[in-house]
Amino acid sequence: MYKVLKIVALFAFLCIGGPTAWANTYSDAIKSFSNAGESGKYFKTAYGYAIFPTVGKGAFIVGGAYGEGKAFVDAKHVGNSTMTQVSLGAQWGGQAFSQIIFFKNEQAFKDFTSGNFEFSAQASAVAITAGVSAEANTGGGTSAGISGGSNDAATTSGGYRKGMAVFSIAKGGLMFEAALGGQKFTYTPL
């Protein structure tokens, strides 16, 4: 399975423009989410957040995604995280996106950082830097959102689910997907 993920990640990397698509920094991603509608409000009230400036995703029937991120509490970097995703279904293409997970309180942050954390079953479509998605997650909730590129993104959310709110901004690529999959996160404290 690891070999399949590596091949799909390489495909995603090639489909979304190679190194230029990965040239985003944490500060750029935080600025994008701060200025993108509803997600900006969460910075003021959330206990903390985990941010993944660039997640690369690729698929041809079997899909995979990978991204590296950092976790923050009170705007202080407290740990590092990785996100992997595997999906299966009608899907093709590659994309890059930024993702942020806000933690409503300390318990939600502890749930995320206590070991391997996972969630999600999703369907989405992304073309260039405009995206639309719908998600049903294991937290018992659903959400939908649409975004432009990082400079003109607009985020919407159904609020916190099990103490977490997730937002993403499409960065580029071409992805058609009607698949079931899950995201898995690891956390390493500083």
Of the candidates 59, 48, 57, 47, which has an alpha carbon nearest to the alpha carbon of residue 83? 57
Task: Sketch the domain layout of the chain as residue ranges.
Answer: 2-184
> Quick one: which H or E segment has residue 185?
strand 164-189
One-letter identity of residue 59: A
Asked if the model's pLDDT at residue 17 lies above 90, the reply is no
**pLDDT: is 144 or 189 the higher one?**
189
> Quick one: which H or E segment has residue 7?
helix 2-15
DSSP-derived secondary structure letter, 158: -
Non-local (6+) Cβ contacts of 24 within 8 A are: 53, 54, 98, 150, 171
Task: Pull the structure tokens for residue 22.
Answer: 């990965």
Tell me the C-alpha to C-alpha distance, in Å, between residue 173 and each of 39, 66, 70.
23, 15, 24
Of the candidates 150, 151, 109, 158, which has an alpha carbon nearest to the alpha carbon of residue 134? 158
**Taking the model in full, what pTM does it have?**
0.75
Q: Give the tens place of pLDDT for each residue, 110-149.
A: 999 997 788 755 544 444 444 445 444 444 443 434 445 5
Whole-angstrom distance, CA of residue 100 vs CA of residue 65: 15
Whole-angstrom distance, CA of residue 89 vs CA of residue 139: 22
Q: Give the tens place of pLDDT for each residue, 76-107.
A: 999 999 999 988 888 889 999 999 999 999 99
Residue 111 confidence (pLDDT): 93
One-letter identity of residue 90: A
Count, in order, helices (H) and strands (E) of the chain: 4, 7
Per DSSP, the three-state class of 134 is: strand
Non-local (6+) Cβ contacts of 130 within 8 A are: 146, 147, 148, 149, 170
Q: Do the beta carbons of residue 185 and residue 108 sit within 8 Å?
A: no
Task: Pull the structure tokens for residue 140.
Answer: 């018992």
